[in-house]
Chains A and B, each alone.
Chain A
Amino acid sequence: MAIATELGRRVELVSMDPHFHDISIGIYRQERESGPGYLVHTYSQKPRALERIEFVIQAMATLGGMQQEGPRLRFTCGDPHQLTVRRIFIEACKLKPDAKVEPRPLNILDKKSNLNITVFGVGSGVYEFRSEAGGEDAASRVSAIAGGLAKLAEMTRVSSTHEQVAFACKHAHDAAVGTMLIRALNVRAILREEEMAASRGVLTAPSAQK
């Protein structure tokens, strides 16, 4: 009889957990009446594999600000935030079993611009990015990082601003934002879009045109 059960739709897989005998750990999205939830699962039957799974679940609860319900996790806002969950899962699996897990701060040093970037929750799921420096270059970089987070976390830019992005659920997710901030510094697609937007309507010499 088949052992593989219906677990939902797999969202992400860590194919070899370096901290526990190279087991494969998957995270599955399950649709429930109370809203979407996520199950962390391994097919491994190795002794203490379930303890490792439990660690990952708890780490995700901390890093993502998620609510743990037995083997499942969800955001209390009820929205799936699937890309965010995927990222939090990957980060949680990177942690050693004896690691102390704490929420990550809402500020970071951006080496590209040498700016300290701080993120403020301003309510209704809106987050504002600020740097200590002023000027066009700083503003441009802050805008790019905000855009990077928006792409990573399925947020939208708040219209008429360059430094505010918002969750559609209109709820705060500070822990998740803190966890994803480092990735937001290097989201190439956002930079490409901004380069293209900046060049629209600008006359270029024939040799510089594609």
Chain B
Amino acid sequence: MAEITDISNDFIRQEIEEYIERPEERERNINLFARARPKMQEIAAALIDGDNDTVNRLTREALDSGIEALEVMDDGLIAGMGIVGIKFRQNFIFVPEVLACARAMKAGMAHIEPILSAAGIEPVGKVIMGTVKGDLHDIGKNLCIMMLRGSGFEVIDLGVDTAPDRFIEAVEEHDALLLGMSALLSTTMPNMGKTIEAFIDADLRDKVKIMVGGAPVTQEFADDMGADGYGKDALACVATAKKLLGVVAKTRA
């Protein structure tokens, strides 16, 4: 088991000490960053700081120096977003800061995605994502999509205010096995149930796994609506997606 002093980057050490309170999360992050190269820790630090220019530059440099794209993504970008997610959950930062970090991640992913595509790496799964009918919020959904793509999923984003028929059309058109629905308003949450009902009526319910999420959504609500899975935040969304599709986590050689 690694110690926090095994992490070479001062900023990352401070972030973990100051903001990560749960023992299991501290342990996981210490282990993760202790084994990550200093260059990856720098990328993560810049992402946590919302510095998209630095993330952009460092990602490019790391790839040019021969570091594998998957390593940069996992140990730099996704690792950094993990700490961002924890700070957001605990109200140390708010949505503007999260958006800045997401922007930084996007800057890094712009270099990584073409490499992964060119390498012909099969997506781990295909996911349709959308915010339900009547709801125009998409910040959370967009974060989930970014994390899903970063984790190797192919994501078709239907955007906001998505009617049940549109979800059905997209699942059929793209032959997707997984559907993710987001609702940020408690008044639009019932539309998740309506969408699931529409899948039953269209005799398609068994063809697709359905996961739900969003600030007002709970596990209990997800169960009552007949969803297959629930994710309380973007990181949980990825874990839920993998679980529903029976995906084994990729490991780098």
Contact = CB atoms under 8 A, between A and B. Distances in A.
Given A187-B226, A188-B228, A112 B206 contact: yes
Nearest to A189: B223
Contact of A186 (B222, B224, B226): B226
Contacts of B223: 188-189, 192
A187 B226 CA distance: 6
Interface of B: 196, 200-201, 203, 205-206, 222-224, 226-228
A185 interface: yes
Contacts of B196: 186
Contacts of A94: 201
A182 B223 CA distance: 17
B206 A111 contact: yes
22 contacts: A94-B201, A111-B203, A111-B206, A112-B206, A182-B200, A183-B200, A185-B205, A185-B206, A186-B196, A186-B200, A186-B205, A186-B206, A186-B226, A187-B226, A188-B222, A188-B223, A188-B226, A188-B227, A188-B228, A189-B223, A189-B224, A192-B223
Interface string A173-207: 00000000011011111001000000000000000
Given A111-B203, A186-B196, A186-B206, 9 more contacts: A94-B201, A111-B206, A186-B205, A186-B226, A188-B222, A188-B226, A188-B227, A189-B224, A192-B223
* Nearest 3 pairs of A and B residues by beta carbon: A189-B223, A111-B206, A112-B206
Interface of A: 94, 111-112, 182-183, 185-189, 192
Contacts of A192: 223
B126 to A, nearest CB: 20
Contacts of A189: 223-224
Contacts of B228: 188
Nearest to B220: A189
Contacts of B200: 182-183, 186
Contacts of A188: 222-223, 226-228
B244 to A, nearest CB: 11
Choose among A182, A187, A188, A192 the residue with the greatest number of B CB atoms under 10 Å from its CB. A188
A148 B201 CA distance: 17
Nearest to A182: B200
A140 to B, nearest CB: 16
Nearest to B205: A186
A112 B228 CA distance: 14
A183 B225 CA distance: 11
A185 B223 CA distance: 14
A186 B201 CA distance: 12
Nearest to B224: A189
A112 B200 CA distance: 12
A170 to B, nearest CB: 27
Nearest to B222: A188
B135 to A, nearest CB: 16
A135 B130 CA distance: 39
A187 B196 CA distance: 11
Nearest to A111: B206
